[in-house]
A and B are shown apart, each in its own frame.
Chain A
Amino acid sequence: MEVNLFAKKIKQLRDRQRIKKLAGRILLVSMLMLALLMIALSAFALMIANSSKKLEQKISLTKNKITQLYDVESKQVYLVSKLGSFANLLKLQERHQAVAETIFAMVPNGTTLQGFEVNEAGTIDLAGSVPGWSKLFELLRRIKEPATGQLRAVQAQVNRISFGKTGTINFDINIVLSGASQ
Chain B
Amino acid sequence: MKKKQLMIMSGIALVLGIIFFGPTLSNLQKVIRVNKQQKTELNNLEKKLQILEGIDKNLVTDRVKRMEAVFPSDKPIVQLLSSLAQLTAKHDLSFGGLSLSPGSLTDENKEKTDSELADLTFGFEVGGEFNNVLKFLRELEKAAPLMKIDKVGLTIKTNPLLGDDNAMIAAEIDVSAFYQPPPKSLGSISQPVKLLSKTEEATLRRLFNFTQFQAVLPVAQTGKTNLFDFGQ
Asked whether B153 lies within 8 Å of A114 as measured between CB atoms, the reply is yes
- Partner among B38, B148, B196 whose Cβ is within 8 Å of the Cβ of A56: B38
B52 within 8 A of A: yes
Given pairs A23-B5, A93-B146, A115-B154, 10 additional interface contacts (CB within 8 A): A34-B21, A37-B21, A65-B49, A75-B63, A89-B117, A89-B148, A96-B148, A107-B159, A109-B162, A115-B152
**Which applies to chain B's interface (DSSP): helix, strand, loop or mixed?**
helix
CB distance A108 to B159 under 8 Å? yes
A62 touches B5 (CB 8 A): no
Interface string of A47-73 (1 = CB under 8 A from B): 011011001101100110111011111
Please, what's the 1-or-0 string for B66-104, where 1 marks a CB less than 8 Å from any CB in chain A? 010011000000000000000000000000000000000
Sorting the interface of chain A by its residue count into under 10, 10 to 19, 20 to 34 or 35 or more gives: 35 or more
Known A34-B17, A45-B27, A45-B28: A52·B38 in contact at CB below 8 Å: yes
Chain B residues whose CB sits within 8 angstroms of the CB of A13 once the complex forms: none
Q: How far is the CA of A116 from the CA of B172 in the complex (A)?
A: 11
Report Cα–Cα, A38/B35, bound state, in Å: 21
Name the residue of chain A whose CB is nearest to the CB of B54: A72
Residues of A close to B9: CB separation below 8 A: 23, 26-27, 30
Complex interface residues of chain A between 89 and 112 (CB less than 8 A to chain B): 89-90, 92-93, 96-97, 100, 104-105, 107-112
Tell me whether B219 is interfacial, beta carbon within 8 Å: no
A59 touches B45 (CB 8 A): yes
Complex partner residue of A97 from B16, B42, B141, CB under 8 angstroms: B141
- Is B183 an interface residue, CB under 8 A from the partner? yes
B residues in contact with A100, CB < 8 Å: 137, 149, 152
- Choose from A69, A105, A117 the contact partner of B53 (Cβ within 8 Å): A69
B55 and A72 contacting across the interface, CB-CB below 8 Å: yes
Contact of B141 with A96 in the complex, beta carbons under 8 Å: yes
Q: Which of A76-84, A151-159, A162-170 contacts B (4 or more CB under 8 A)?
A: A76-84
Check B35 against A19 for contact (C-beta < 8 Å): no
Which A residues lie within 8 Å of B61 (CB)? 75
Residues of A within 8 A of B16 (CB): 34
Min CB gap A150→B, angstroms: 11
Residues of B within 8 A of A38 (CB): 20-21, 24
A83-B204, A89-B178 known; A55+B38 contact, CB < 8 A: yes
Cα distance A119–B42 in the bound complex, in angstroms: 52
